Amino acid sequence: MMFKRVMGKASSPSQGRSGLMQLFLQQEALGAVHDEFKGWDVGDILGAEGTLFKTRTGELTIKVDQLRLLVKSLRPLPDKWHGLADVESRYRQRYVDLIMSDESRQVFQRRNRIIHYLRSFLEALDFMEVETR
C-alpha cells in the first residue's frame, strides 16, 4: 500500500506489482475487515480479490470482495514525492528503492532480461557458467 484514503464507508489504497492499481473498499462488502484496514499502515502488503474496472478518470481499480493483510511493514516508507534522496541509502536499502522508484525497478527488470538473454544465448552455444569467486 503506497498511500491510503479513507472516505467514510469507502477507502482506496493503491499500487500493484505492475504499476499503479487502485483498490476500492466498501464497508458493506468487507464488513469487519474494512474496520481493520483503517488500522493498517502505508507500506503494508495486502492481498485483494475482486472485480476489475476503470474509473471515470481511467484508473485501473479493483472493487474488493476479499482483503487480507499479507505483510505488516515494520518501518514507514519514505516520503512519496521525494523517495530515497540519499544515494548511499538507495544502495543500502535497495528493497525500499525498488518499492519507491519506478525508474530503479525498470532498470532491474531490464538488467534481468539482458542477463537471461545472454545466458540463453551462451547455453545454446554449449557454454557453461562457472563461479570463480
What is the model's pLDDT at position 42? 80
| 74 DSSP β-pair partners | none
Residue 29 domain-assigned (yes or no): yes
68 lies in the same domain as 97: no
Q: Which H helix or E strand runs over 70?
A: strand 60-71
- Give the structural domain span for 82: 78-126
59 lies in the same domain as 2: yes
The pair phi, psi for residue 88, each rounded to 5°, is: -65, -40
Is the entire prediction scored with pTM above 0.85? no
Block means of pLDDT (10 residues each) for the chain, 133 residues, are 71 61 84 84 85 84 89 74 65 75 86 96 94 87
